[in-house]
């Protein structure tokens, strides 16, 4: 039986671990984006997550939601590009949906991902467009399914759903962003944003499992 919920400090440290994992994955993300975009996603994510570490490291937050809003604001204001705006919208709107909660439960995870994914999708991407939504959307669906479980189990299931979504994006044709002009040539490779989402959720799950 895993932990039923995480404290604010644990959530903060979990997001710091996710930030570190993304920074280490820069070469993987760069290569993924070079195949389909202009190759700047890895460096952009590294910059965004470096800003997340600065914004979160050693700080106290009044609620779980504020931690996620902090993640989004740091990414949005440091990265630029489509990814900066989209990750900013994801974590800021998801974090706001958590209200004043001081514990992070599987229900909170479902709320975070549902609201965050919905807001990202208002910018035009839908499942199947070969964007980060292809990792986010199945993750949000899975989170709703497992919202009664301990947070550690829920995170593990959600991370697996995101990874499956990332893999599925390999067989999609890009219709958004700079990759859209590739058409069928975009087949066979995952979307770099979906790769990032899968890495973040896997790192969150690994961190929670180790508590």
Partner 1 sequence: MKKLINHPLKVADELVEGLVEAYNGECRFVGSRSIIKNDIPEGKVALLVGGGSGHEPIYHGLVGRNLADGAACGDIFAAPPPNIVFEATEAVNRGKGVLYLYGNYAGDVLNFDLGAELAEDEGIEVRTVLIWDDVCSAAPTDKKNRRGIAGLVPIVKLAGAASQKVETLAELEAIARKAVLQTRSVGVSMAPGSIPATGKPTFDIDEDKIGLGMGIHGEPGVGQIPMATADDLTVMMLDLLFADYEKDEEVAALTEGDEVLLFVNSLGATTMMELLIALRKAKAVLSERGLKVYDVMVGPLVTCQEMSGISFSLTRMDEELKRYWEMPCQSVCFSKMEGRYGG
Q: Is-contact 32 88, C-beta < 8 A?
A: no
If the CB atoms of residues 81 and 108 are measured against partner 1, the closer one turns out to be 81
Residue 78 touching partner 1 (CB under 8 A): yes
Please identify which residue in 17, 20, 23, 80 interacts with partner 1, judged by CB under 8 A.
Answer: 80
Stretch near partner 1 under the rule CB under 8 A, chosen from 6-14, 35-43, 57-65, 104-112: 35-43
Handedness of CA 36, 38, 39, 40 (dihedral sign): negative
Residue 40 touching partner 1 (CB under 8 A): yes
Stretch near partner 1 under the rule CB under 8 A, chosen from 16-24, 56-64, 79-87, 200-208: 79-87
Residue 150 contacts by C-beta under 8 Å, 6 or more apart in sequence? Answer: 1, 2, 3, 4, 5, 106
Residue 81 touching partner 1 (CB under 8 A): yes
Pairing of strands 103-104, 6-7: antiparallel
Stretch near partner 1 under the rule CB under 8 A, chosen from 37-45, 62-70, 96-104, 141-149: 37-45
Spell out a b/e string for 29-57, using b for 16 or more CB atoms within 10 Å of the CB, else e. bbebbebbbeebbbebbbbbbbbbeebbe
Stretch near partner 1 under the rule CB under 8 A, chosen from 70-78, 140-148, 194-202, 203-211: 70-78
Handedness of CA 172, 176, 180, 186 (dihedral sign): negative
Residue 43 touching partner 1 (CB under 8 A): yes
Please identify which residue in 3, 21, 34, 53 interacts with partner 1, judged by CB under 8 A.
Answer: 34
Burial of 102 (0-12, 13-18, 19+ CB in 10 A): middle
Q: What's the length of the chain?
A: 211
171-210 positions binding partner 1, by CB under 8 A: 176-178, 180-182, 185
Binding footprint of partner 1 on the chain (CB under 8 A): 30, 34, 37-40, 42-44, 46-47, 50, 76-86, 88, 123, 176-178, 180-182, 185
């Amino acid at each position: 039986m895993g932990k039923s919920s995480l404290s604010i400090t644990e959530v903060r440290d979990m997001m710091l671990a996710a930030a570190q994992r993304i920074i280490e994955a820069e070469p993987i993300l760069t290569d993924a984006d070079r195949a389909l975009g202009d190759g700047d996603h890895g460096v952009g994510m590294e910059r965004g997550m470096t800003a997340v570490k600065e914004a979160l490291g050693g700080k106290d937050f009044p609620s779980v939601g504020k931690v996620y809003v902090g993640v989004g604001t740091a990414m949005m204001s440091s990265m630029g590009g489509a990814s900066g705006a989209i990750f900013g919208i994801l974590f800021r709107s998801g974090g706001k949906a958590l209200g004043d909660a001081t514990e992070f439960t599987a229900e909170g995870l479902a709320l975070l991902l549902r609201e965050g994914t919905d807001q990202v999708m208002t910018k035009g991407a839908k499942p199947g467009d070969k964007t980060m939504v292809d990792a986010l959307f199945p993750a949000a669906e899975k989170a709703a399914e497992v919202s009664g479980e301990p947070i550690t189990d829920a995170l593990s299931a959600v991370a697996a759903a995101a990874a499956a979504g990332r893999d599925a994006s390999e067989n999609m044709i890009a219709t958004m962003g700079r990759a859209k002009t590739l058409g069928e040539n975009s087949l066979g490779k995952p979307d770099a944003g979906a790769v990032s989402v899968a890495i973040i959720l896997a790192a969150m799950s690994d961190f929670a499992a180790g508590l």
